[in-house]
Structure 1
Amino acid sequence: MDTARLFLALWPDEAIRAHLARAQATLPWPAGARPTLAENLHATLHFIGAVPSDRLVALIPALAVPPRRIELQLDRLELWPNGIAAWVPGTTPAALRALHGELEERLRDLQLPVEARPYRPHVTLARRATGLDSRTPGALPPLQWHCDGHALVESAAGRYRVLHRYDA
């Protein structure tokens, strides 16, 4: 059976993507770090996993929720377990929590998996970044990201492809 590996995300426009990539390039990555490809930078809402490709036709409209204006300020660099360098907001905006929750309900209705761990919005800047000093003052200046929707994205062979954008 043919499947697609899917996730839902806040997908940056070209200006935000360029800002993310410039900020990523300023960091002193340790040897062996694997920075995320610029075209793959995003903030995951829900990882769905492998879904039979024939479900996509029904899945795309089912994941449409009323768009919300989200003001996300990425203002902290954190080093997570397994060497993940994450750019995170100090607080999660109420509109983002609402979008995440509504999409979770849709995924449950569709009998698709939902992660049990609490949602932590972030942009993964690199993997295998153990040794990066995330406490360096001003390591990354804050980024104000205005989001007007979300995207359904397919992951294949290390590349991401937007299947559908749900914008205002």
Structure 2
Amino acid sequence: MPAAERAAAACRLFLALWPTPAERDELLHYQRRWSWPPGAAPIVAERLHLTLHFIGALPRQRLGEVSAGLQVASEPCEVVLDRAEVWPHGLVVLRATSPPAALQQLHGRLGEALQALGLKPEKRRFRPHVTLARRATGSIPPLASVALRWQLSSYTLVESLAGAAGGYLVRQRYD
């Protein structure tokens, strides 16, 4: 099978918290207050999210089964994004220093659901964060402290679209 057909037959998925328009606007306002070095790539508005689990590439015919199998119980809570950091390779993130128990439980339940579907959750420790920019080593954060509050009442299954345009497509919202 040619590479183009293989790509069309697969979908690349992840689970995420998707910001409301107001939450996204607050993130953008905070992001614009940074001083970015030449070559930095701030994340565009429609790509801002907090990843719960990266799933990876799956055969597209499994999308319905996976989507149905990822419905888990979750409790509403507030996630406070309050610590800006520059991670290796110039990744600038805003993370939650004290993730609420309900978010940790949601992450755990989704990991169990992925395993039940025969998928392998990532082994990395869950550090809830929103990526603000890539290739941004040497960035200067705003002087003022930050505490952006997200109300967790749902999560999403998202497809990462290939090609020059790229982008994300929310496949399922779980309330």
TM-score by length of 2: 0.90
Superposition pairs of residues 1-168 of structure 1, within 5 angstroms: 1=6, 2-134=9-141, 137-138=143-144, 140-157=145-162, 158-167=166-175
Return the letter of the residue paired with 1:7: F
CA distance in 2, matches of 1:100, 1:66: 11
Instruction: List runs of 5+ in structure 1 lacking aligned partners.
Output: none
* Percent identity over paired residues: 48
Residues 86 and 124 in structure 1, CA contact (< 8 A), matched pair in contact too: yes
How far apart are residue 80 of structure 1 and its match? 0.3
Cα offset for 1:105? 0.3
Structure 2 portions without partners, runs of 5+: 1-5
Runs of 4+ in 1 over 4 A off after TM superposition: none
Q: In angstroms, what is the RMSD of aligned CA positions? A: 1.2
> How many residues are paired up?
165
**Structure with the larger strand share:** 1
Matched residue SS, 1:56: helix
Letter in 2 for 1:160: Y
What is the CA distance between 1:156 and its match in structure 2? 1.1
Amino acid at match of 1:46: H
CA distance in 2, matches of 1:95, 1:56: 26
Q: How far is the alpha carbon of 1:57 from its aligned partner?
A: 1.1
Larger Rg: 2
Three-state SS of the structure 2 residue aligned to 1:95 is helix
